[in-house]
């Protein structure tokens, strides 16, 4: 049980915990900055919501209750002394593949036991902006799967329907934001792992351009595939967090081209009339999209036309990225597994991945990186080619509806890969190429679960993705759509 201390009456107590946490990070920071709410009040609200709802969701691997309250008090003291920051006093959660000083980085498994001494660079930047790190969120082991299930930490459940998956691998972060446990959470995306859970949980999730956010202390995240970024309720919150997170650090293998302006400032300007192509065609053969996903795609295309854009259906010539993706996937898992203190505790499927990785020595992985660069040129012809020259590509985010939890039960490596294909059929290509791509909410299906579409931008062009997503948010606002919070409490485990 989390013991909380009462808050001074000099702060605004009119908002209940849910109302306060569903405000989003920009508004929360403003409330703290103006003295209407204390950082401690925010942290207490987050901890109460976690204590009430997370037993049914399993979004958090660890909650830093004492540390978060101490950090919040420090933020309040700093504000009283005149300090400021874009995330002053805002509680934020962090996916358990990113180092948080004093906590174990488990990568979703049981193989590590020793707390790390220093924050990852992305976490350090959050703290420097004034954020309070509330806890670390669940993920499948090494982020291998688009379902947040692991032998060590059980199932993570979708706040819209706790019998269904959150997607993955940043499923804990998505569940925490969707349920209003925090206003934002960091995730990672090596094949769709920000966009897929955003789609399943009704959030906005932008995978940035490769190298936009530092992966330090590691030179890369799954070589050229992986990026770090937030899951949020609104486009503006995502822009704010990317302003905090963006920029290279020493040792990063990749660095994105700097923008001409901040992402937040970019949202103040409308994009003008753009050429937007849309297609329901998956980039993975043998996958068929759910009819409601195709309907959401077409409805979004029509909405973009009504916004004044030139929108047309196209037939993209997607390259086969298997030879570029799979060696980097295997090499990335191998590199992370090599750092485990107790490798004998790795999951059976992970050990199978590592056996497959023997077929991709380091030289083969580097070949795959170069192959991905060549494929990026081909894939980006949709944006740069004569006669096409699109500004954005619109697709579904995922092909199937969120599946019941337990997708990975009893599944070996091959079965797990086959079950994953409909979830990554539209997303993984853009990890190989490095392009920015975002999952944008698009209403709800007949099952009550969220629908989503994906906006893909040209290389280094997060700004256009953000601007058009913000236009869609204006005409069909989604941030006030909240899942129920009256599920049966008590740990629901795998």
| Structural domains in the chain (count) | 1
DSSP 8-state code for residue 459: T
Q: In sequence order, what are the beta bridge partners of 132?
A: 91
Average pLDDT over residues 261-282: 97
Whether 11 is covered by a domain: the verdict is no
- Check residue 384 and give its pLDDT: 82
203-235 pLDDT per residue, tens? 999 999 999 999 999 999 999 999 999 999 999
Q: Determine, yes or no, domain membership for 367.
A: yes
For the chain, what percent of residues have pLDDT higher than 70?
A: 95
- Predicted confidence (pLDDT) at residue 427 exceeds the cutoff of 70: yes
User: What average pLDDT does range 447-472 have in this prediction?
Assistant: 98
Query: Where in the sequence is the domain holding 362, given as residue range(s)?
Result: 17-475
Q: Is residue 311 a part of any domain in this protein? A: yes
464 and 258 in contact (C-beta within 8 Å)?
Answer: no
3-state secondary structure of 229: strand
Cis peptide upstream of residue 169 (ω within 30 degrees of 0): yes
Q: Please write the tens of the pLDDT for every residue from 295-312.
A: 999 999 999 999 999 999
Per the CB < 8 A criterion, the answer to whether 147 and 171 are in contact is: yes
Residue 4 has pLDDT above 70, yes or no: no
Domain assignment present for residue 480? The answer is no
What local confidence, expressed as pLDDT, does residue 5 receive? Answer: 33
Q: How much is the average pLDDT of 354-365?
A: 96
pLDDT tens per residue across span 148-164: 999 999 999 999 999 99
pLDDT band at 386 (very low <50, low <70, confident <90, very high): low
Is the residue at 139 inside a domain?
A: yes
pTM score:
0.95
The answer to whether residue 160 sits within a structural domain is yes
User: 22-53: per-residue pLDDT in tens?
Assistant: 999 999 999 999 999 999 999 999 999 999 99
Counting every residue, how long is the chain?
Answer: 494
Residue 335 CA to residue 91 CA, distance in Å, equals 31
Is the bond preceding 217 in cis, omega lying within 30 degrees of 0?
Answer: yes
Is 5 among the domain residues?
no
Apex CA 77: angle with CA 74 and CA 82, to 5°? 125
Distances (CA, A) of 228 to 154, 187, 427: 24, 6, 15
Q: Are 130 and 28 in contact (CB under 8 A)?
A: no
CATH number of the domain enclosing 359: 3.90.1300.10
pLDDT surpassing 90 at residue 486 = no
Confidence of residue 7 (pLDDT cuts 50, 70, 90): very low
In this prediction, residue 489 carries a pLDDT of 41
Catalytically active residues are 95, 169, 193
Contacting residues for 446 by C-beta, under 8 A, at least 6 apart: 292
The residue behind tokens 């170069």 is 370
The CA–CA distances, whole Å, from 125 to 130, 210, 213 equal 9, 18, 10
246 assigned to some structural domain: yes
Closest CA to 482 of 10, 15, 22, 6: 22
């Amino acid at each position: 049980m989390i013991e909380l201390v009462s808050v001074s009456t000099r702060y605004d107590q009119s908002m209940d915990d849910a109302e306060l946490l569903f405000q989003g990070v920009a508004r929360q920071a403003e409330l703290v900055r103006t003295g209407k709410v204390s950082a401690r009040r925010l942290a207490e609200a987050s901890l109460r919501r976690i204590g009430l709802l997370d037993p049914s969701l399993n979004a958090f691997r660890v909650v830093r209750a004492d540390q978060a309250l101490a950090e919040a008090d420090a933020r309040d003291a700093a504000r009283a002394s005149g300090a400021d920051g874009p995330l002053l006093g805002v509680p934020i959660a962090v996916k358990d593949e990113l180092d948080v000083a004093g906590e174990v980085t488990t990568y979703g498994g049981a193989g590590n036991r020793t707390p790390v001494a220093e924050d990852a660079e992305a976490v350090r930047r959050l703290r420097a902006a004034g954020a309070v790190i509330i806890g670390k969120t669940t993920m499948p082991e090494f982020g291998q799967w688009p379902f947040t299930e692991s032998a060590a930490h059980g199932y993570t459940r979708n706040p819209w329907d706790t019998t269904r998956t959150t997607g993955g691998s940043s499923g804990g972060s998505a569940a925490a934001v969707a349920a209003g446990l925090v206003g934002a959470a960091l995730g990672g995306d090596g094949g769709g792992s920000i966009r897929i859970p955003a789609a399943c949980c009704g959030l906005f999730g932008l995978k940035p351009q490769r190298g936009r956010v530092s992966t330090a202390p590691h030179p890369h995240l799954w070589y050229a595939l992986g990026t770090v970024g937030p899951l949020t309720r609104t486009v503006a919150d995502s822009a704010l967090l990317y302003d905090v997170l963006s920029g290279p650090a020493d040792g990063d293998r990749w660095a994105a081209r700097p923008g001409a302006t901040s992402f937040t400032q970019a949202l103040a300007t409308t994009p003008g009339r753009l050429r937007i192509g849309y297609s329901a065609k998956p980039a993975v053969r043998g996958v068929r999209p759910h009819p409601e996903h195709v309907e959401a795609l077409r409805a979004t295309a029509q909405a973009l036309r009504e916004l004044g854009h030139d929108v047309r259906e196209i037939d993209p010539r997607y390259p086969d990225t298997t030879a570029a993706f799979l060696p980097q996937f295997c090499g990335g898992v191998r590199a992370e597994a090599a750092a485990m203190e107790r490798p004998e505790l790795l999951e059976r499927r992970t050990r199978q991945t590592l056996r497959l990785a023997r077929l991709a020595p380091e030289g083969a992985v580097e070949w795959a990186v170069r192959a991905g660069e060549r494929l990026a040129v081909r894939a980006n012809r949709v944006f740069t080619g004569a006669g096409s020259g699109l500004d954005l590509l619109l697709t579904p985010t995922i092909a199937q509806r969120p599946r019941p939890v337990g997708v990975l039960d009893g599944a070996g490596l091959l079965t797990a890969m086959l079950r994953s294909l409909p979830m990554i059929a539209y997303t993984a290509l853009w990890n190989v190429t490095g392009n920015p791509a975002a999952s944008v909410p698009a209403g709800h299906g007949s099952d009550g679960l969220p629908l989503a579409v994906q906006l893909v931008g040209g290389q280094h062009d997060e700004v256009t993705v953000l601007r058009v997503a913000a236009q869609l948010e204006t005409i069909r606002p989604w941030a006030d759509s909240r899942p129920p919070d009256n599920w049966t409490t008590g740990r629901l485990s795998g």
